[in-house]
Amino acid sequence: MDRAELVHQNFLSRVAEGDLPGRVSDVSIDQAGLSPAATVELFQSQVLSRQLDRTSRKLQARGEGFYTIGSSGHEGNAAIAAAFRVDDLAFLHYRDAAFLIQRSKQLSGQTPAWDMLLSFAASADDPISGGRHKVLGSKALYVPPQTSTIASHLPKAVGAAYSIGLAKRLDATDRQLPGDAVILCSFGDASANHSTAQGAFNTAAWTAFQGAPMPLVFVCEDNGIGISTKTPHGWINATFSHRPALQYFACNGLDILETRKVANEAGEFVRRHRKPAFIHMKCVRLYGHAGSDAQTAYMSKTEVEVQEANDPLLHTTRILVDHDILTCGQVLDIYNSIGDTTERVAEAAIARPKLETPTQVMTSLLPPKRTLPPSNGPSDQARASAFGNDSTFMDKPQHMARLINWALTDLMLEHDNIVLAGEDIGPKGGVYNVTAKLSQRFGAHRVINTVLDEQSILGLAIGLAHNGLLPIPEIQFLAYLHNAEDQLRGEAATLSFFSNGQYTNPMIVRIAGLGYQKGFGGHFHNDNSLAVLRDVPGIVVACPSNGADAVAMMRECVRLAREEQRIVVFVEPIALYMTRDLHDDKDGLWTFPYPPPGSGTKIALGDIGQYSDGTDLAIVTYGNGYYLSRKAEKILSRDHGLKLRVIDLRWLAPLNKEQILVATGPCENILVVDECRSTGSQSEALMALFAENLNAGQTLKRIAADDCFIPLGRAATVTLPSCDAIVANALELTKSSSTRKSA
């Protein structure tokens, strides 16, 4: 008999014999704010959660269920759910089925057993994920779905909590959460040690310490073990009970009365003071981590049996019996009736259709588009006030950094829900002065200087987007993204996919990066790899090569985020920020006048750029590579008589394969120039694209950076493609092509 069945039989026999555990608190029903009927309701939620766990394991044994990480032992979180409103957004731990079940009772028409069983069965009818994962979530119940999280959902919970006060302050019309709402975020004791979680705790407290509203309730469900690694006794209390600006509450999750009382107190504190709280809920873990987990491999039989003797359902039964609410027989009737119903519903759930085709699986990868009222753009008066003296320079050619700044200004004037966030972007204007004067123009609430933590920056952005704001976070350098890449991959990009398009978090992530910075900064400031972004399904990656394109592309990125709810990464080549000249000193060919809103060339997602229309050679590139290729084009044309075209990809994901093939189709030779490292670079995809679609007689070659980090000093560019290398490879390619044709 497995442990799940032993726990089940143990419950039946002990209740039948009246062998119930002793009291673990002195809290009364009145002190907990419960009525007898409400106490029974909590027990029913706990029982349904337990019976769903049992059923999930039976379904797996039959090959009809696909998830067995259960909530058994954590059912006390039903009492926490009862202490909060249905519109208090909750980011839940995967052991919080009882929480979701209890919350569903606050809203009529909910069918939690049916919904969860569809999820266990990976049915396409699953109302939250459409069969893509077993997740706890519901749009109606304000529960965004989380996958198998290891604290990665905590940073966005901090962001969502911060968004409540910010949206109210900005009088945002699209806000999704009430102004007096709080955010809940639950997790396990083992996950509390994760660096992602620690960053979230620190950021919440750092923000509250300065007096900013942070209405957030952290709920740590402490069962004393993470898979097989025990949490040191007293560790959670020792590390969280005295943190500055984080109010600590503790309860025994085995007792729903104490848990409800403490949750009431924590909720009242946070709602009144708009400061974060930490609920430390002690509980037990029954059955092991998941269906395949044999606890006795790392725990003694005695330790396992001690946990099972503390079954929270037995403790709730004792409360019900002691308060003369139910008899032991009535408790068993409820338990068995819910169990029978659960098994009956399961048989119907497993018969529902499953996802079968790639199209069905990928349907929710991209968020749904939405129709928004047209914007008339910022008024002349608002622009004159915001830009001040800058207005006199707008018809004169400017470098990329200044043009991006002006584009952001106009976009923030046009859309009052745009919020910028990042390290040093406020009064300082960022490391490269790209956000100069924006804080002065729009205030510290819309240009937020954040804590130095990239996970918290992206988490803030995700959370803001949950509440109808449009965040434009900045990652100071491309290499810094690696500290937080899972916030893009595991959280932001998956939200639409795992919610069947019901939840979205549109944003534009600005990242300064790439190489050619004349020896400054070394590898940590000259990171020339975009591989981590190419790996994330569904996101847009933009990389302008000049200021004029940067303005048009940033406007398109904002449209993509607002109307198509996309997640966009806008990579800004640092070396081109201040570049003014192309061929000769003071030729000014890399500066451009600023096109006011509604004017200038529009660049839609996927639109490539093309310089010249020669057919001897097509150079396909982007970013710094486009700049260098334009320099090389002059040499190849003037000194060698080659007629060529230079193609600027602009958008690195998704690649517009059709436009690229049309643009290169007439050319005899194709040279791919990629400033990123050979392994994992965009050139790999391009070479595959061309290899699969080469016209008869076309030849193909690529130049990419060596697989090496970038050093400091004069050697900084030696591993990167250069103008000379482009010229040499172009000549070699065209000469080889001519030789083959003449032969």
Average pLDDT in the 374-385 region?
Answer: 90
Rounded Cα distance between 686 and 688, Å, is 5
pLDDT at 307 over 60: yes
Tracing tokens 């048989």 back to the chain, one arrives at 347
Of 43, 150, 45, the C-alpha closest to 96 is 45
Q: For residue 149, what are the contacts with CB-CB under 8 A and spacing of at least 6?
A: 93, 94, 187, 191
Summarize pLDDT for 267-284 with one digit per residue, the tens.
Answer: 999 999 999 999 999 999
Summarize pLDDT for 394-423 with one digit per residue, the tens.
Answer: 999 999 999 999 999 999 999 999 999 999
Nearest 5°: phi and psi at 669? -135, 150
Beta strands 470-475 and 699-705, pairing class: unpaired
Rounded Cα distance between 516 and 717, Å, is 6
Helix (H) or strand (E) holding 658: helix 657-664
Average pLDDT in the 555-565 region?
Answer: 98
Beta bridge partners of residue 670, listed in sequence order: 618, 700
Could you tell me the pLDDT band of residue 1, with boundaries at 50, 70 and 90?
low
Higher per-residue confidence, 518 vs 681: 681
Summarize pLDDT for 71-92 with one digit per residue, the tens.
Answer: 999 999 999 999 999 999 999 9
Average pLDDT, the chain: 95
* pLDDT at residue 742 in the model: 64
Please state which architecture CATH assigns to domain 380-576: 3-Layer(aba) Sandwich (3.40)
DSSP assignment string, 225-286: EETTEEPPTTHHHHHHTT-TT-EEEEEETT-HHHHHHHHHHHHHHHHHH---EEEEEE----
Could you tell me the pLDDT band of residue 375, with boundaries at 50, 70 and 90?
confident
How many other C-beta atoms are found inside a 10 Å radius of the C-beta of residue 114?
18
Average pLDDT in the 561-579 region?
Answer: 98
**Which tokens hold the place of 237?**
């209390």
Tracing tokens 């002690």 back to the chain, one arrives at 282
Start and end residues for every CATH 3.40.50.920 domain found in the chain: 609-742
How many other C-beta atoms are found inside a 10 Å radius of the C-beta of residue 619?
30
Using alpha carbons only, give the angle 134, 132, 143 rounded to the nearest 5 degrees: 55
Rounded Cα distance between 359 and 188, Å, is 35
pLDDT at 64 over 60: yes
* pLDDT at residue 658 in the model: 97
Of 18, 21, 12, the C-alpha closest to 284 is 21
Average pLDDT in the 101-109 region?
Answer: 97
pLDDT at 41 over 60: yes
pLDDT at 316 over 90: yes
Spatial strand order of the sheet with 609-611 comes to 609-611, 644-648, 617-621, 669-677, 699-705
* pLDDT at residue 377 in the model: 86
What three-state secondary structure class fits 376?
coil
Nearest 5°: phi and psi at 198? -60, -40
pLDDT at 289 over 90: no
Percent of the chain with pLDDT over 90: 92
Summarize pLDDT for 351-361 with one digit per residue, the tens.
Answer: 999 999 999 99
Start and end residues for every CATH 3.40.50.970 domain found in the chain: 3-16+36-351, 380-576
Could you tell me the pLDDT band of residue 173, with boundaries at 50, 70 and 90?
confident
Top-tier CATH class for 3-16+36-351: alpha beta
Rounded Cα distance between 216 and 111, Å, is 28
Rounded Cα distance between 257 and 76, Å, is 9
What three-state secondary structure class fits 630?
helix
Summarize pLDDT for 604-661 with one digit per residue, the tens.
Answer: 999 999 999 999 999 999 999 999 999 999 999 999 999 999 999 999 999 999 999 9
Tracing tokens 């004169």 back to the chain, one arrives at 396
Beta strands 183-188 and 609-611, pairing class: unpaired
* pLDDT at residue 691 in the model: 95
**Which tokens hold the place of 470?**
């449009």
What global pTM score does this model have? 0.96
pLDDT at 739 over 90: no
CA 623 to centroid of chain Cα atoms: 26
Of 258, 250, 103, 246, the C-alpha closest to 189 is 250
Rounded Cα distance between 575 and 594, Å, is 20
CA 719 to centroid of chain Cα atoms: 33
Rounded Cα distance between 73 and 189, Å, is 14
Nearest 5°: phi and psi at 134? -85, 105
* pLDDT at residue 696 in the model: 87
**Which tokens hold the place of 661?**
């093939």
Helix axes 328-349, 112-120, angle to 10 degrees: 50
pLDDT at 147 over 80: no
Rounded Cα distance between 339 and 740, Å, is 77
How many other C-beta atoms are found inside a 10 Å radius of the C-beta of residue 440?
14
pLDDT at 743 over 60: no
Helices (H), 393-545: 400-414, 438-442, 454-466, 485-486, 495-498, 531-534
* pLDDT at residue 148 in the model: 67
Contacts 24+ apart (CB under 8 A), 263-268: 263/79, 263/80, 263/82, 263/83, 263/84, 264/32, 264/33, 264/83, 266/83, 266/217, 267/83, 267/84, 267/182, 267/217
Top-tier CATH class for 609-742: alpha beta
pLDDT at 293 over 70: yes
By CB atoms closer than 10 A (0-12, 13-18, 19+), residue 73 is buried
* pLDDT at residue 322 in the model: 96
Of 615, 676, 678, the C-alpha closest to 649 is 676
